[in-house]
Structure 1
Amino acid sequence: MKRLSLLLLLALLGMTPSASSFADADEIVVVVNQANPVRAAGRDTLRPIFQTTRTEWYGKSAVPVNLPEDSPQRQRFDMAVLGLDPEGVARYWIDRKIRGGERPPRKVPTASAVLRAVGEEAGGIGYVAASDLNPTVKVIARIRDGQVVPP
């Protein structure tokens, strides 16, 4: 609704937004602790970390942090990185629980909680909207148009 109102306002003013102006607002960034030496990560690296099949990386315990299931950023992240919609993610974790696999990533309620958790944990990794980014973490990937791309 907010976006539609903005578009209507811009149309009334005779202005047209560029595609990139909305892309930046919709972009998700994958972040790690500042001490993490990794500079970039692709889907093949991120997927096993967030499915908890890879529990260690760069010599530290991987500590993935998720937003709640109903978060739009979580749903877009899961689709781009895991290739799963919310129902598929739920089925995946039920199956893992039945089979005795690792537990799901830690879940926190807000982007600021993701940034805090990742900033405090050497192996921390999470994601937030680009607009929520702060200097306590570093970006190792971006999610644009449903694709994982380098920072």
Structure 2
Amino acid sequence: MKRRFLLLLLALLGMTPSASSFAEADEIVVVVNRANPVRAAGRDTLRPLFQTARTEWYGRSVMPVNLPEGSPLRQRFDMAVLGLDPESVARYWIDRKIRGGERPPRKVASPSAVLRAVGDEAGGIGYIAAGDLNPTVKVIARIRDGQVLPP
């Protein structure tokens, strides 16, 4: 729906959208604090961090940050990185709680809150839409079409 509206608006303004502008709008970027030495991370690295199975990374405590469960961005991220749909993610965290495992990632309300949390915490890691990116964080992975790709 948003894409159709954008296309209509651009057509009315006499502009032709580029394929890269839509790719950026659909792309998710995984971001870390700028002090983090990591340059790139794949699914095998990200999954244990966001499932809190790994709590230290490069000598620092990791602080993964999630968007709310109902967020379409969160659902796409969970499917690409964790390989889980929303119901499976909920069951995973219930099981972890029952078994006394680590707590789920910190949940924040918006992409700007993700940027703030990750930018303020040396061990911070989160994800946002590529269009929300700013220089306070560093990109270590991109998620496009359900695939985790290098930055």
Normalised by the shorter chain, which TM-score bucket?
over 0.9
The whole-number CA distance in structure 2 between the counterparts of 1:29 and 1:125 is: 11
Q: Which residue of 2 aligns with 1:52?
A: 52
Q: Which residue of 2 aligns with 1:64?
A: 64
Q: Which amino acid aligns with 1:40?
A: A
Post-superposition CA distance 1:1-31 (Å, at most 9, x none): 2211233455678876444331111111000
The whole-number CA distance in structure 2 between the counterparts of 1:134 and 1:58 is: 24
1:102-121 matches, cutoff 5 A: 102-121=102-121
Compared CA separation, residues 121 and 9, structure 1 to 2 (3 A): closer
The whole-number CA distance in structure 2 between the counterparts of 1:57 and 1:30 is: 15
Q: Which residue of 1 aligns with 2:150?
A: 150
The whole-number CA distance in structure 1 between the counterparts of 2:13 and 2:111 is: 33
Q: Determine whether 1:81 maps to 2:78.
A: no
1:93-132 matches, cutoff 5 A: 93-132=93-132
By how many angstroms is 1:97 displaced? 0.6
By how many angstroms is 1:63 displaced? 0.5
State which drifts further: 33-42 or 17-26. Answer: 17-26
Q: Which residue of 2 aligns with 1:42?
A: 42
The whole-number CA distance in structure 2 between the counterparts of 1:146 and 1:16 is: 26
Unaligned runs of 5+ in 2: none
The whole-number CA distance in structure 1 between the counterparts of 2:131 and 2:15 is: 23
Q: Which amino acid aligns with 1:98?
A: I
The whole-number CA distance in structure 1 between the counterparts of 2:117 and 2:25 is: 23
3-state SS of the aligned residue for 1:4? helix
State which drifts further: 6-15 or 83-92. Answer: 6-15
Q: Which residue of 1 aligns with 2:136?
A: 136
Unaligned runs of 5+ in 1: none
> % of aligned pairs identical?
87
By how many angstroms is 1:72 displaced? 1.2
The whole-number CA distance in structure 1 between the counterparts of 2:11 and 2:113 is: 37
Q: Which residue of 2 aligns with 1:6?
A: 6
Post-superposition CA distance 1:31-63 (Å, at most 9, x none): 000100000000000000000000000000011
Alignment RMSD (CA, Å): 1.6
Q: Which amino acid aligns with 1:23?
A: A
